[in-house]
A and B are shown apart, each in its own frame.
Chain A
Amino acid sequence: AQTVTQSQPEMSVQEAETVTLSCTYDTSESDYYLFWYKQPPSRQMILVIRQEAYKQQNATENRFSVNFQKAAKSFSLKISDSQLGDAAMYFCAYNNAGNMLTFGGGTRLMVKP
């Protein structure tokens, strides 16, 4: 069974600085998809960024980028120029077939003004 691990329960970053959230996963599959979801306080989870495992190029979405290391089974999220609105729970998730997402335990990101 696939597992997703987020080793940092909490992280903090100064506004305008850069922060990296870690995620590792375990799978025997070669073709799969990875996601980062953001859950602001009392709000819906929203998709931040996705990565196809067959793509070597790291995905980027504005201030959000990933460092995908397939051999190491690592998928970290980098947030540049952190803003107060980035404060949230961040979940890493995995999908390889079907429609099931397997989530990590989440990292709570605090942004200090």
Chain B
Amino acid sequence: EPEVTQTPSHQVTQMGQEVILRCVPISNHLYFYWYRQILGQKVEFLVSFYNNEISEKSEIFDDQFSVERPDGSNFTLKIRSTKLEDSAMYFCASSYGGVSYNEQFFGPGTRLTVL
């Protein structure tokens, strides 16, 4: 069964460094998403991406964040200058169509630790 995959599973970085989190969505899906979950808190929406552009983003998704689909298979989240408060689990998801009628498939997550 197709799955969303994410690499790495755990990333440790120093404050101020740039990190890129990678995701491979399910191959025929058209919508891509990033969510994050700070330890002990709710899963929070960051951004959705469709047709090679951001379709929605939350207040969390500020200028420090960017997303890209550099080729036909990968979907990346870049954090330009990491802060301690960026430490969280980051989940990638994809869906064939809009989320109301199409299941979002989630990846296993990348745990980001900022020191």
Contact = CB atoms under 8 A, between A and B. Distances in A.
Given A98-B55, A100-B58, A101-B99, A45 B91 contact: yes
Contact of B42 (A33, A50, A105): A105
B106 A99 contact: no
Interface string B26-52: 000001010100000111110010100
Nearest to B43: A103
Contacts of B108: 42-44
B4 to A, nearest CB: 7
A103 B42 contact: yes
Contacts of B55: 98-99
A11 interface: no
A22 interface: no
Size class of the contact patch on chain A: 20 to 34
Interface string A88-113: 00010001001111111110000000
Interface of A, helix, strand, loop or mixed by DSSP? loop
Contacts of B50: 99
Contacts of A45: 91, 106
Contact of B100 (A33, A37, A102): A33
B68 interface: no
A50 B95 CA distance: 15
A100 B50 CA distance: 13
Nearest to A4: B42
A47 interface: yes
B18 interface: no
Contacts of A33: 99-100
Contacts of A100: 45, 48, 56, 58, 99
Interface of B: 3-4, 31, 33, 35, 41-45, 48, 50, 55-56, 58, 91, 95, 98-100, 103-108
